[in-house]
Structure 1
Amino acid sequence: MCDEHANADHWRFSLAVYRQEGVPAHCLQLQHRLGLDVNVLLLMFWAARLWGVAPDAAQIAQADETIRAWRDEVVQPLRQLRTRLKSGPPPAPDPQTDALRDSVKRLELDAERVEQDRLAQWVAARTAVQAAQRASEIEETRALQSDASVALLEQTAVRVVAFYEAQATTALLQGDALPDDPWLPLQHAHAIVMAAARVRTRRL
């Protein structure tokens, strides 16, 4: 799979999941509660369906590290600026600053696309290695029944949430507020899993 094709397929998959009803709200909750990178979560769903196995903790950490600097230094500052312009500083909000906020929103989306493309390349490189080692298993993956596919995505979601919960625990030790319900992240993740399960990857 060439990088350009992998990027396009991954981007279409991510958009197909994210645009389903309720998914943006669940993603936002995971982002706020755990600092979870939604792009990484969607990538891991994509990878799990491609590989036929849930990514392990080391792979999740590697994917996150691949785009950490870009996310921290580009995506998040754009997101923070867009959010801040909703209510201030003066003269915001007004028609002129609303137009500026729309421009920032477009830049944020472009920056997230760069992140998604880099993540897709990361998956493609590892898929090539795995394909050489177990081509037959990959073929079997493409024939998974829907219930097995959901179980695979659920396992992936649990591992991604656990990774970001560990990061959040470190922050809690430094004085941040403790989440009110530790099960909520998994509930939000489950809703996104069901959305991802409805997307037929091969038809994208």
Structure 2
Amino acid sequence: MHPTSLRPGPLATALALAALAVMAACTPALNWREVRMPPTRLQALLPCKPDEGTRTVTLAGQATEMHMVGCEAQGATYTLAWVAVPEPGRAGAVLGAWQDATLQRVGIAAGPDAPAGTAFVPQGALALPQAVQWRAEGRAPEGGPVVVQAAWFVATGGAGVQAFQAAVYSPAPVPEGAAAFLDGIRLP
């Protein structure tokens, strides 16, 4: 066989390039992984390896320990946080105070200028009026623009009642990343 007969023709080259393009398109841009937050039932997907931390915060007039995980991927910060709610009847107030604190962090006053939320009640969560998700545009503490796409909800489990926040902070909207993040929340 003559060596020139082994060269690919234009059709074979075009097919090979098309196959490479399809494989590149199928490569995930984010490295999604399942994260659990014991002792809660929460399972979620994060697009990167998270760091963990706790800090004391005041929500609805009560000091509480906030447990957090978060990571940065493609310029966006993905966070999950939870607090114990010792008085279950105050769960709605805790969510409302948490939403107000999030707005204040990005320079938006709570009240009529606050974003309107839509219900966010993952399967296994409690259906409270304050369990919502919204998107807001404000200013980061450093002064640059920030888009917050966040959701708050309440669940019960072996550790009692917990309030949760799932949020994505980014300089510009990341609708696909935020949707995958929020859709990945589970309470088995």
Superposition TM-score, scaled by structure 1 size: 0.26
* Higher RCO (Cα < 8 Å, 6 or more apart): 1
* Greater share of strand: 2
Larger Rg: 2
* Greater share of helix: 1
Superposition TM-score, scaled by structure 2 size: 0.28
